[in-house]
Amino acid sequence: MTVQSRALCPWPLNSLLPSHGQVVGLQGKPNGPTSGGFTLTVFGSNFGAFNNMNTKASVDKSLCATTTWRSDSSVLCSIRAGIGKDLAASVELQESSVKRASTVTQVFSYDVARIESWIFFQWAPNYEYNHPPATGRNSISVLGINFGTASYSDSGRHGDTVAEATAWISDSTLRLRFAAGVGAELYLGVTTPSGVGANNRGFSYGKPVITRRHIEPSRSALVGPANSPLSGNSTTTIAGFNFGTVDYSGQAKLGGTAITNVLTNWKSDTMIAIRTPPGACVGVEVSLTVAKQVDTHTKAWSYDAPEFTSPPGAAVNGSAINSPTTGGKTVTVLGINMGAWDLTGQGKYGGTSGEATKWTSDSSVAFKSPSGFAAGLTVAFSVCGQSRRVRRQLSYDAPTVTDQSPSNGPSAGGGTITLFGNNFGTLDFTGRASVGTHSNQSLVYLDGDGGLVAYNVTGATTCESTRWLSETSARCKVSAGAGVQYGVAFTVGQSIGTQQTGHFFSYDIPVMTGAFPANGPAYGGENVTLRFGGSLTTYSITMLGRDFGRVDYTPKARLGDTDCMAAKWLSSSSLVCKIPGGGCKDVSIAVSVLGYNNGTQYGVATKQFSYDAPALSTIDAGNNTGPTSGKVRNSPGGGDSPGFLRN
């Protein structure tokens, strides 16, 4: 590199010329790299008319690597490696034994050191951060140029602190050992004889690193999330490193909330104690800021979940909590950790969110029940990702059945009745109606498969289909059955309402249309075997009609006022009667299918059957005179029947 220097304004010769008449000058203040290897042109006068002298140029008393005469007014100087600023330049002329020299001061400077980057290598196990720790006494390699080709007592500094030691490695590398400290984007400078080279935001200590959280003193080293009440005010220790060897007024946060009510208490470079603020949520992040450097751990902290201290509603009226199916019932939940302020918690009634949840205090929230159904529901309150549940605390009011219409239907089923009552649901909750529970019997309940099972021996029959109409009515397509004075029931979820008042349901009583054959022996079917079905004998008859039942309900049958000796159901329109003994004609027939109540629920048809009239085959008067009694023999049944004779 050639650097020429020409005076912009001629120097006054009289003031610069020595007695020998030589002058040295450079334009401005040229500079060059500390590694040397470039050429400067030195201007002056009286360097000789031709190159017949031993000419030597030097900078800062260091001879040029080579000096080349150019003219009476200039020579060339090949600069050696060096360092410094405002250095003098001189030219020495020697002819025979005579030496002449002239010097000009503060005309040349080597380039100032320039910092380009720095590297930190920590060989300790598991250290993954490329920054020196806050404890100091670790070294970095500063990379750049113009640090000098030899050690010139360079010194480094960061921020306002001088490095504990500076070691020259090469013109492009220095090794600096730093004292303890904290901070980021700090000033980094290197001072050499040429001046100060700096990077104003070139250096950072390692940021604070949170490694674990723990609560003192009961859990002195809990790795993982820690807990505290929502009201805060518990002492917690954050552990890690690079917190500083002295108190740098670090600031901790939980979930974005700065802990300002109590000062963060610095303990050491690896431990800071804090007093938790009020808050909520699970998996809260923990952050620590030291000298504008931040470390954050997600899901590192949790506030305690809500807890119930008394049954829901106890603070309201001390009674069990029930809600109408239309909802709107206010439920007050008492406990702790409901929130130090309104954190928009959510109450639940069963699996449905409560309406208008209202926070009152850390120990009390209230919400209104939504419309719904079922019994033994869970009450729950959740706030910021945490919830607490208590099972079987709340119930919707069970359905009540007050009446039904019409109050009868065919035994074959298929008839439709309408149930009236309350709490059938504000919409179709797939309720189920049933018929067959007597009004003075126990309730029915749902089994595991959703079927209705009775607590009583009579049981209940589920309707063939149920259609919800409104909160107060439903429609049932009655299944086949028999009997009288049955209550009806309506089931929503596991809540069942049975009819206790109003019109009870009865299946239509049997209707009798006739008997075949229409007559039989007076002594009935005694001591004979009755054959059901097939060809009939004179000892049994078939009673005809309807509503005898779709299945065998063990019907009862009568001839006149006497029960059949046996009755066998054949179909909904016929049964067989083993006739009792008798002797009248135009006898009524009657059948009862369940619901027998002192004979009042029989289906009756009059004048449907007659016993055979007496028949005379032999009169044996003997020797008696006057009125005689005798026997009728050879009756159709093969036995004897009383006979009456007249004179």
Q: What is the mean pLDDT of residues 129-136?
A: 80
| Residue among 229, 230, 226, 255 at smallest CA distance from 359 | 230
What is each CA distance from 572 to 32, 412, 481, 511, 575, in whole angstroms? 125, 8, 11, 11, 8
Q: What is the mean pLDDT of residues 67-80?
A: 88
468 against 616, higher pLDDT: 468
- pTM to 2 decimals? 0.53
Contact 272, 252 (CB under 8 A): yes
- The band of 8, judged by pLDDT with boundaries at 50, 70 and 90, is very low
- The band of 522, judged by pLDDT with boundaries at 50, 70 and 90, is confident
| 15-70 pLDDT, tens digit each | 223 334 345 555 545 888 999 988 888 888 888 777 767 888 888 888 898 888 88
Q: Where in the chain is the domain with CATH 2.60.40.10?
A: 2-110, 114-203, 209-303, 307-396, 400-507, 512-609
Q: What is the mean pLDDT of residues 296-307?
A: 76
Q: To which CATH superfamily is domain 512-609 assigned?
A: Immunoglobulins (2.60.40.10)
CA distance 157 to 203: 10
Q: Residues of 316-339 as b/e, b for ≥16 C-beta within 10 angstroms?
A: eeeeebebbbbbebbbbbbbbbbb
Q: What is the pLDDT of residue 29?
A: 56
Q: What is the pLDDT of residue 437?
A: 56
Indicate the range of 56-60, 71-75, 272-276 predicted with least confidence: 272-276
Tokens 């919800």 correspond to what residue? 468
Q: What is the pLDDT of residue 625?
A: 54
Q: What is the pLDDT of residue 128?
A: 52
pLDDT at 182 over 70: yes
- The band of 506, judged by pLDDT with boundaries at 50, 70 and 90, is confident
Q: Residues of 503-521 as b/e, b for ≥16 C-beta within 10 angstroms?
A: bbbbbbbbebeebeeeebb
Name the percent of the chain in helix, strand, coil, to the closest 5. Answer: 0, 50, 50
| Residue among 547, 646, 538, 642 at smallest CA distance from 593 | 547
CA distance 573 to 571: 5
Q: Which residues contact 626 (CB under 8 A, 6 or more apart)?
A: 647
Residue 263, both tokens: 């000062």
Q: What is the pLDDT of residue 618?
A: 64
Hey, how many other C-beta atoms are within 10 angstroms of the C-beta on 263? 13
Q: What is the pLDDT of residue 19?
A: 35
204 against 315, higher pLDDT: 204
Three-state secondary structure call for residue 595: coil
- The band of 258, judged by pLDDT with boundaries at 50, 70 and 90, is low
- Does the CA dihedral 487-488-492-494 come out positive or negative? positive
Domain 209-303 annotated CATH 2.60.40.10: yes
Q: What is the pLDDT of residue 1?
A: 35
Q: What is the mean pLDDT of residues 296-322?
A: 63
Q: What is the pLDDT of residue 592?
A: 86
- The band of 285, judged by pLDDT with boundaries at 50, 70 and 90, is confident
Percent of the chain beyond pLDDT 90? 10
CA distance 432 to 105: 113
Q: What is the mean pLDDT of residues 566-580?
A: 90
- Distance, first Cα to last Cα, the chain: 180
Domain 307-396 annotated CATH 2.60.40.10: yes
Q: What is the mean pLDDT of residues 78-107?
A: 84
CA distance 374 to 355: 18
Tokens 């005694």 correspond to what residue? 526
Query: Which CATH architecture does the domain made up of 2-110 adopt?
Result: Sandwich (2.60)
Tokens 């059949």 correspond to what residue? 564
Residue 587 DSSP one-character state: E
Indicate the range of 73-82, 374-383, 589-598 predicted with least confidence: 589-598
Which range of 274-278, 435-439, 446-450, 641-645 scores highest in mean pLDDT? It is: 274-278
Q: In residues, how long is the chain?
A: 647
Q: What is the mean pLDDT of residues 151-178?
A: 88
- The band of 224, judged by pLDDT with boundaries at 50, 70 and 90, is very low
Contact 102, 23 (CB under 8 A): yes
Q: What is the pLDDT of residue 59?
A: 87
310 against 478, higher pLDDT: 478
What is each CA distance from 94 to 17, 98, 224, 256, in whole angstroms? 17, 5, 84, 80
Q: To which CATH superfamily is domain 400-507 assigned?
A: Immunoglobulins (2.60.40.10)
Percent of the chain beyond pLDDT 70? 74
CA distance 537 to 526: 13
pLDDT at 641 over 80: no
Q: What is the pLDDT of residue 443?
A: 41
Indicate the range of 185-189, 361-365, 567-571 predicted with least confidence: 361-365
CA distance 499 to 434: 11
CA distance 143 to 165: 16
Q: What is the mean pLDDT of residues 112-122?
A: 84
Q: What is the pLDDT of residue 527?
A: 38
Domain 114-203 annotated CATH 2.60.40.10: yes
375 against 560, higher pLDDT: 560
pLDDT at 405 over 90: yes
503 against 255, higher pLDDT: 503
Residue 394 burial class via C-beta count within 10 angstroms: exposed 0-12, middle 13-18, buried 19 and up: buried
| Residue among 255, 253, 274, 272 at smallest CA distance from 263 | 274
Contact 564, 536 (CB under 8 A): no
Tokens 């029989």 correspond to what residue? 602
- The band of 467, judged by pLDDT with boundaries at 50, 70 and 90, is very high
Residue 99, both tokens: 């030496």
